[in-house]
Amino acid sequence: MAVTRLSDLVFGENFNGYTIERSIRRNAFVSAGVVVVDPAITAFMSDQGFLVNMPHFKRVANDEPNASSDDPAAIAVPKKIGTGNEIARKLMRNQGWSSADLTAALIAQDPMQVIGDQVGDYWAGVNQTTVLKIAQGILADNIANDNGDMLKTVATDATGAPTDAELFGQDVMLEAEQTMGDAKGSLTAIAVHSVIHTRMRKAGALLDFFDPETGRLDYQTFDGKRVIVDDDMPVTQGTNRRTFTSILFGAGVFRQGVGTPKTPNEVEREAAQGNGEGVETLWNRRHEVIHPTGFAVAGTQVSSNATPTYSALATASNWNRVFDRKNVPMAFIRTNG
């Protein structure tokens, strides 16, 4: 009986496109509208270098207008409009899987689709974690350089059980929203650890939305915000208590652009491995930008040509806010549960 091997399959444009589409579709932040694919950023991906410069005009100041008169000696002085520059970082990453890990896939009717599903789901998880690591870096930068004006915290490391005032609830979320002032209406989703999600459930504060075709639970909302549950949300263990970080997002606060590596997919065969039986490995490569609106990369993201690790993305010195607070639809909450 003939056996389909990785080297028998063609990992071309269709496969690469399928895995990218699958990874985007399966990303919870994309489904919630937090991450949007930006064709303008995608267009930048073919340019040389690892940085993407995105200059912008700042908003015109809400100054009092001139009072018109008929006095020719009264000369009005026009205002000027300011400019700024967002700087994004290209992420060049890859992962490989040996054929042994894909054995179950190779007995399927369409092994290309099954492998594509596995690879696409892997990158969906990677990109969700990438968003959260960037958000941690933004929060660290905000605390260090902007007086924590994006953060509302009620967490402490006191002994004893946390009080209701130190736990997650609608009040603390509203106070976090208020860090945006009159722009708070732009916040549309909240990402929480499963512990916080359970607290929401116990409070009976979640609204369920079901898929009209399948009847399965599609998503939930809390006080009108779409809820994203992810156990990669930051949890810090103190001497006495844990501190949970929850994050409010606005629509499209993260923009994504996808590029094309020279060789997106490649099968490597090592004949001597397996004591001569041979081992095949599929390598999949991704070039993309995942960028938070209103920020410029800094530090090692600018000085090093090495793609930043999760740790680097979560580092304060690697981010700099270039928009006014109200123009960055993101807010952070720290509670003891």
Q: What percent of the chain has pLDDT over 70?
A: 92
Mean pLDDT of the region 318-328: 95
Domain annotation covers residue 75: no
Instruction: Name the band, by pLDDT with cuts 50, 70 and 90, for residue 1.
Output: very low
Q: CA-to-CA distance for 56 and 148, rounded, in angstroms?
A: 25
DSSP one-letter string for 170-222: HHHHHHHHGGGGGGGGGEEEEEE-HHHHHHHHHTT-EEEEE-TTT--EEEEEE
Domain annotation covers residue 70: no
Please name which of 154, 144, 127 lies closest in space to residue 298, comparing C-alpha atoms: 144
Domain annotation covers residue 13: yes
Q: What is the largest CA-CA distance in the chain?
A: 97
Which residues, at least 6 apart from 19, have a Cβ–Cβ distance to it below 8 Å? Answer: 116, 119, 120, 123, 284
Domain annotation covers residue 68: no
Please name which of 132, 165, 313 lies closest in space to residue 235, comparing C-alpha atoms: 132
Element holding 92 (H helix, E strand): strand 91-98
Domain annotation covers residue 160: yes
Please name which of 95, 94, 7 lies closest in space to residue 278, comparing C-alpha atoms: 7
pLDDT at 10: 80
Burial letters 276-298, b for 16+ CB under 10 A, else e = eeeebbbebbbbbbbbbbbbbbb
> pTM for the full model?
0.89
> 233 and 191 in contact (C-beta within 8 Å)?
yes
Number of domains in the chain: 1
Q: CA-to-CA distance for 275 and 85, rounded, in angstroms?
A: 56
- pLDDT tens sequence across 289-299: 999 999 999 99
CA dist 264 → 20, 95, 228, 259, 320 (Å): 11, 11, 30, 10, 32
- pLDDT tens sequence across 78-123: 776 665 678 999 999 999 988 766 666 666 667 788 888 899 999 9
Place of tokens 């690697």: 318
Q: CA-to-CA distance for 148 and 142, rounded, in angstroms?
A: 5
Domain annotation covers residue 297: yes
Which residues, at least 6 apart from 40, have a Cβ–Cβ distance to it below 8 Å? Answer: 54, 257
CA dist 302 → 129, 147, 317, 321, 323 (Å): 21, 24, 11, 15, 19
Is 33 exposed, middle or buried, given 0-12, 13-18 or 19+ CB atoms closer than 10 A?
middle
CA dist 250 → 43, 50, 128, 177, 246 (Å): 24, 27, 16, 11, 14
- pLDDT tens sequence across 31-88: 999 999 999 899 988 888 899 887 656 666 777 787 788 778 888 787 766 656 789 9
Is 327 exposed, middle or buried, given 0-12, 13-18 or 19+ CB atoms closer than 10 A?
middle
Place of tokens 């369409």: 110
Domain residues for the domain of 184 are: 6-56+83-335
Domain annotation covers residue 331: yes
